Amino acid sequence: MTEAWTSRPLDLGTDEVHVWYAFPERVAGLTSVEHLRAILSDEETARQRRFVFEKDRDLFLVARVLVRVVLSRYAGVAAAAWNFTEDAHGKPEIAGPAEGIGLRFNLSHTGGMATCAVTRNHDVGVDVENVNRRVSMTELARRYFAAREAEAIERLSGAAQRERFFAYWTLKEAYVKARGLGLSIPLDGFAFEFDSRDNARIVFMDAVTDSAADWQFARFQPSRPHRIAVAIRAPSDRPLAISIQEMIPPGGFDTV
């Protein structure tokens, strides 16, 4: 589904997760940089200007605007009005306004795409990766993934190997981000398994204390090269409704 960047309020139930994504090139082609920058804080604008390459400036800009506009879709406040803080591990959280209390979000971006996941009262993490990235898949898997994951990757080849590698990668990143504990969680301390329908399930080793019954996961392919994974802390026996939508601006989108 494609949604314009407007101020129409949206419902978000406690049993729902909404994932939004945007293509920086498409946004930049429809909306001026100045219009987008007007939504950011002074600190965000300064950070955006420090990037050397235009594509990196555009990606940062669209990612930050995406978060603000998405949150405003549910709280009915100006996109420029949001204030954010970071916890001890650098995870961003809403500091104000009061209308945003209860909303939880997470942001990720990679070459060509930004994505934001939003829930109410659930820990959530999202990761997006471009599978066209040049990476040493087997080497990285042996170094960072659980042994069973590395072995599964090595048994595959070609496109199947690449798909499995990025499935593990995005799921692991999404889980770590949802926990909000940063690199203190060892990536080889947990592993993912897939059932006959390719649904993901997490398994924990001794190095990580957690319960698989407390987590739900979803994966999406919003474009040919992009893969998105979402991790939500919610009982696995009560499935959430997880949806994904593209958000694109019209000629001049309403910033609420």
> For residue 16, what pLDDT is reported?
97
118: helix, strand or coil: strand
Instruction: Indicate if 47 and 149 belong to the same structural domain.
Output: no
Euclidean distance between CA atoms 5 and 130, whole angstroms: 24
> What is the tally of structural domains in the chain?
2
Half-sphere exposure of 234 (CA within 13 A, CB side): 23
Residue 184: its pLDDT value, please? 87
Nearest to 22 by CA among 119, 103, 107: 107
Return all residues near 93 (Cβ < 8 A) that are at least 6 apart.
84, 85, 86, 87
User: The domain that contains 167 carries what CATH number?
Assistant: 3.90.470.20
Q: Indicate whether 114 and 12 sit together in one domain.
A: yes
What's the CA gap between 20 and 242, in Å, rounded? 11
Distance CA(198)–CA(195), nearest Å, equals: 5
Same domain, 146 and 114: no
Q: Is residue 253 domain-resident?
A: no
Q: Do 92 and 163 belong to one domain?
A: no
Question: 100 and 161 in one domain?
Answer: no
pLDDT at position 7:
53
The H or E element that residue 66 is part of is helix 54-75
- CA distance linking residue 21 with residue 112, whole number of Å: 10
Mean pLDDT in the chain? 91
Q: Among positive and negative, which fits the CA dihedral 38, 44, 50, 56?
A: negative
Check residue 182 and give its pLDDT.
83
32 pairs with which residues across the strands? none
pLDDT at 31: 81
- Per the structure, the complete domain to which residue 171 belongs is given by 128-233
Phi, psi of 14 (to 5 degrees): -70, -10
Q: Per the domain annotation, does 255 fall within a domain? A: no
Residues 102 and 168 in one domain: no
- What confidence score (pLDDT) does residue 1 get? 45
Tell me if 247 sits within 8 A of 3, measured CB to CB: yes
Residues 206 and 114 occupy one common structural domain: no
Collect the ranges in the chain with pLDDT lower than 50.
1-2, 251-256
142 shares a domain with 47: no
Q: Which residues contact 243 (CB under 8 A, 6 or more apart)?
A: 1, 16, 17, 18, 19
pLDDT one-digit tens code per residue, 209-239: 999 999 999 999 999 999 999 999 999 999 9
What's the pLDDT at 37?
Answer: 92
Q: Are residues 161 and 176 in the same domain?
A: yes
Query: How much is the CA Rg of the chain, to the nearest whole Å?
Result: 18
